[in-house]
Structure 1
């Protein structure tokens, strides 16, 4: 596969040849690299954009980095893992065994579009974070990878996934004015997984705060606090994001009417569905479906 100049610039640091079947996508303000990555080394390098790296299936990684004004740090991890690497941070990664790798490169202007809405501030400072579990980012990266396996990635699908990923990063990995960086804790992996599985299985039902809290045996108020610590979203926000993800899959089937999509995804009315979809995806469901059709023609 011939590399574009943009691809060569962003993939600086790759010490070994890239897999022949690797995938590259340039979006509006972001780029995506995806591959079944063999054992390989990415030598120390920096980017002028935010890099989000996700290793799956599982990965075995060793990372080294130097945050501004700090000594070199390192970490080794086996399992699904996420790294959030701000622009200008020197870093190096060794992939100890074959794994699914997704790099998402996000340019500053893309993040700044969301910053004022999410953080109510005009600037941002991201906290470098290496080799941690983040189930939401892992799921979003996996969806990008699965969409890319045939060599194509729809621009609207990619933009929606990266927008949700950025909202997660801004809520969970950004230093707010006058605050320390957000520290993940919350429900813990087992309880978070239980809630997420319950949500996925019952998207078309009324997923109230009380019903979600009951799944893990907590009071609604305590659950809401811990859930936001775990995911960066309120329960209502997270449910809406999952319903829209479900709707995007159904919209690929041209024979499913919009009213049926809205009902199967748990929206109380078609107008509520359209409003929520436009807010989270940036376009109406009808336009999204049209963009899918045009990309396949």
Structure 2
């Protein structure tokens, strides 16, 4: 998951004498949440490496972008700021806003799993002062939770995934003028996704996956990253963690059985990996959803 030091939008606000951070938390899976209040400020964002989703929780009626001075914010307005964008903001009066910072790797994974498209084909559309009551309601639920309570923080992760999935399904479009080179053919990519999903419990190797595509391990790893936006081992781990969360929420399988279903040789290895990814043990995660 990204560290706060690498999240440019967070650091820009954090360095302002006017902005105050109410709380922040890493929610796992490359997503970080933050709740801010600010007043009489200006902010410039220069090509951040992460995506930002924001919701105006309160105030914001005097907030506008310098390139769109006639459009003002308001409570429940949302902004979608893709990685690499440029924007300058003026904040007149008070504002309280919630942010989700999303790593490019997590965005890439959602493009694959939700859209069945190569991430490099897709672009997140920038949007300012968007009206989306469902998304605004999710943000309000998010900030009502205590992010420092492990049980609730795990539920915030589910909300964050709902927010991200909604954006990917509704605001991601084909990148214009892009000619793809160097990635895997679409039929190979689909075969890999299906094979990995059906064999999450198996000890998959790079050579095994490369053999499916008649490629050397070196060329396969490079082409896989081109197509999926992340290396094979990171993609496989993400899918195993997703399967583990599903089993912990919906079954009463013992932790050792969940570990085996998700390709881990022991419950202790699974528990350590799960805690590193999610910030809590499998037992704490399961209790949060009972």
5 Å matches for 1:1-297?
5-6=5-6, 9-14=8-13, 16-17=16-17, 22-28=22-28, 29-64=30-65, 72-74=67-69, 75-123=71-119, 124-148=122-146, 151-152=148-149, 154-176=152-174, 282-285=246-249, 290-291=283-284
Contact kept in structure 2, 1:59 and 1:79, CA below 8 Å: yes
Other structure's SS at 1:79 match: coil
In 2: Cα distance, 1:17 partner to 1:152 partner = 29
In 2: Cα distance, 1:177 partner to 1:10 partner = 24
Q: CA 1:147 to 1:76, structure 2 compared with 1: closer, same or farther past 3 Å? A: same
Task: After TM superposition, give the deviation of residue 73 of structure 1 in Å.
Answer: 4.4
Other structure's SS at 2:61 match: strand
Contact kept in structure 2, 1:54 and 1:141, CA below 8 Å: yes
Larger of the two Rg values belongs to structure: 2
Q: CA 1:25 to 1:18, structure 2 compared with 1: closer, same or farther past 3 Å? A: farther
Query: Number of paired residues?
Result: 187
- TM-score, normalised via structure 2 length: 0.54
Contact kept in structure 2, 1:25 and 1:31, CA below 8 Å: yes
Q: Deviations over 1:161-211 (max 9, x none)?
A: 111111110111111479xxxxxxxxxxxxxxxxxxxxxxxxxxxxxxxxx
Task: After TM superposition, give the deviation of residue 20 of structure 1 in Å.
Answer: 5.1
Structure showing greater relative contact order (alpha-carbon pairs closer than 8 Å, 6 or more residues apart) = 2
Task: After TM superposition, give the deviation of residue 95 of structure 1 in Å.
Answer: 2.8
Task: After TM superposition, give the deviation of residue 102 of structure 1 in Å.
Answer: 0.6
In 1: Cα distance, 2:141 partner to 2:34 partner = 13
Q: Deviations over 1:83-109 (max 9, x none)?
A: 001111111223323232111110111
Q: CA 1:281 to 1:164, structure 2 compared with 1: closer, same or farther past 3 Å? A: farther
In 1: Cα distance, 2:4 partner to 2:116 partner = 36
Instruction: Name 2:268's counterpart in structure 1.
Output: none
Q: CA 1:174 to 1:135, structure 2 compared with 1: closer, same or farther past 3 Å? A: same
In 2: Cα distance, 1:280 partner to 1:80 partner = 34
Contact kept in structure 2, 1:59 and 1:80, CA below 8 Å: no
Contact kept in structure 1, 2:4 and 2:11, CA below 8 Å: no
Q: CA 1:30 to 1:54, structure 2 compared with 1: closer, same or farther past 3 Å? A: same
Structure 2: gaps spanning 5 or more residues: 177-241, 256-280
